[in-house]
Structure 1
Amino acid sequence: MTDIDTLRQSLEDQSPRAILKEAFRRYDNIALSFSGAEDVALIEMAHKLTDNLQVFTLDTGRLHPETYEFIETVRTHYGIHIEILFPDAAEVQDLVNRKGLFSFYEDGHSECCGIRKVSPLRRKLATVDAWITGQRKDQSPGTRHDVPVVQEDPTFSGPDRTLVKFNPLANWSSKEVWDYIRMSEAPYNTLHERGFISIGCQPCTRPVLPGQHEREGRWWWEEATKKECGLHAGNLIARS
């Protein structure tokens, strides 16, 4: 069994590429979660390190048209298979029929994200031994400050199963991510050219103004410390 603390200490000051290389060396059944700029930077690195690259993305049914175009662009640019995960149709139908299409503006985004994001992700992660995310420490006030480069997943591990989570970009800034994207000429979501920085579902994402934190464009009607959809909420729990 991997000693996560020892592994984290050995990788803490390593480059994202070195962290990815070690992740692929240790785990054959490992998948990379893809949605935004950070993730495409990881794909740019990872596709050169392994011939067994598993990439998946969540289609909530509420994404921007530009995001769907971005997913297809990444698939063709790298010649990779991207597994698209969908929410349970009956659960979505029940939520919408009970509460309408925009209930999250009234009672928070947790229920909708739980159905459209967390549940399909949980099903996927039950099939792998480890996963890779694009989380960065400076991404969200109060919730991602302590993101380690590797951890036992606090959200999706269970009493009889340890899921390992790699966050190779934990120590990078947004500038470092974008410098790498420009240098490598990696594709990116065209919404970034219109002031969108952190991009999620269309009803819950808006551009940010100069000087605003990137996460202020997500769930802007809610408190800054609640701006997680549940995929990485365990980082907040781990700090309490």
Structure 2
Amino acid sequence: MNLHYRTLKKEEYEQFNNKLERNDALDVLKWAYNEFGDNLVYSCSFGAEGMVLIDLISKVKKDATIVFLDTDFHFKETYELIDKVKKRYPTLNIHLAKPEKTPQEQAELHGERLWEREPDMCCNIRKMVPLERELSRYNAWISGLRREQSPTRANTQFVNQDHRFQSIKICPLIHWTEEEVWMYINLHQLDYNELHDKNYPSIGCEYCTKPVAKGEDPRSGRWANKEKTECGLHVFQHGSGI
């Protein structure tokens, strides 16, 4: 449990990933909690991958800490899902992390509907800064990234050096397909966001998420009609995966 971003070398990340190469997601989580214990947090958006990871995590560490970035702009369906998850897994520590500024304070400072004019600034205020604050309390964090989600995520490893947050990023689901995610959800009868049944494969804030037409990129509904495809939580660098 002494592993820390600042002390690990590139070769050590390679060694970890070579060691875990043939392991499944549950084994990766067991390894991660064995190494980091209470210094490991799961940053969860409560998407489909999140439902899988929460269920797997509950089998490994029943009192694990899960952080949700509550931007104040999420769909009501997302908040309803969080309430269901809290009831199903009462021993998990689910924490809703808020931005320092309320929506009203943000509007007074930067103008109304900042997400339309400067979405990067809005994401920074309501997601990046709060997550940076939360992750500073831990040595490592878990993410539900999958390689097939987008070209920028194709090189993600199980264990990643996260330069953006000066942390170690664990991604247990990198080899899972979307079909496998939903097979797990259906097999274990897990709750999930009802918006998934209304053509929302990737769900973020209400103002910046649109339904996706059949055959379109699953993430095309995020920041629709803008070049932006990531909120900034996942900074990808060549050769490192993250």
Answer yes or no: same fold by TM over 0.5.
yes
Deviates more, 1:143-152 or 1:192-201: 143-152
Cα distance in 2 for partners of 1:14, 1:118 equals: 31
> Aligned ranges for residues 64-75 of structure 1 at < 5 Å?
64-75=75-86
Structure 1 vs Structure 2: percent identity of aligned residues?
36
Which of 38, 49, 59 lines up with 1:48 in the alignment? 59
Which of 30, 34, 38 lines up with 1:25 in the alignment? 34
CA positional deviation for 1:154: 2.0
Give the unaligned 5+ runs of structure 2: none
Which of 184, 189, 195 lines up with 1:180 in the alignment? 184
Q: Residue 114 of structure 2 aligns with which residue? A: 103
Cα distance in 2 for partners of 1:191, 1:67 equals: 9
CA positional deviation for 1:201: 0.1
Which of 78, 89, 94 lines up with 2:101 in the alignment? 89
Which of 226, 229, 232 lines up with 1:227 in the alignment? 229
CA positional deviation for 1:153: 1.0
> Aligned ranges for residues 102-181 of structure 1 at < 5 Å?
102-107=113-118, 109-140=119-150, 142-157=151-166, 163-181=167-185
Give the AA of the match of 1:138.
E
Two-structure CA RMSD over aligned residues (Å): 2.0
CA positional deviation for 1:17: 0.8
Give the AA of the match of 2:123.
C
- TM-score, structure 2 length as denominator? 0.88
Q: Residue 44 of structure 2 aligns with which residue? A: 34
* Runs of 4 or more above 6 Å deviation: none
Q: Is the 8 A contact 1:143 1:233 kept in 2?
A: no
CA positional deviation for 1:56: 1.0
Pair 1:216 & 2:220 matched: yes
Give the AA of the match of 1:72.
D
- TM-score, structure 1 length as denominator? 0.89
Q: Is the 8 A contact 1:21 1:49 kept in 2?
A: yes
Q: Residue 160 of structure 1 aligns with which residue? A: none
Give the AA of the match of 1:89.
K
Q: Is the 8 A contact 1:155 1:234 kept in 2?
A: no
CA positional deviation for 1:46: 1.0
Label 1:235 to 1:179 Cα distance change in 2 as closer, same or farther (>3 A): farther
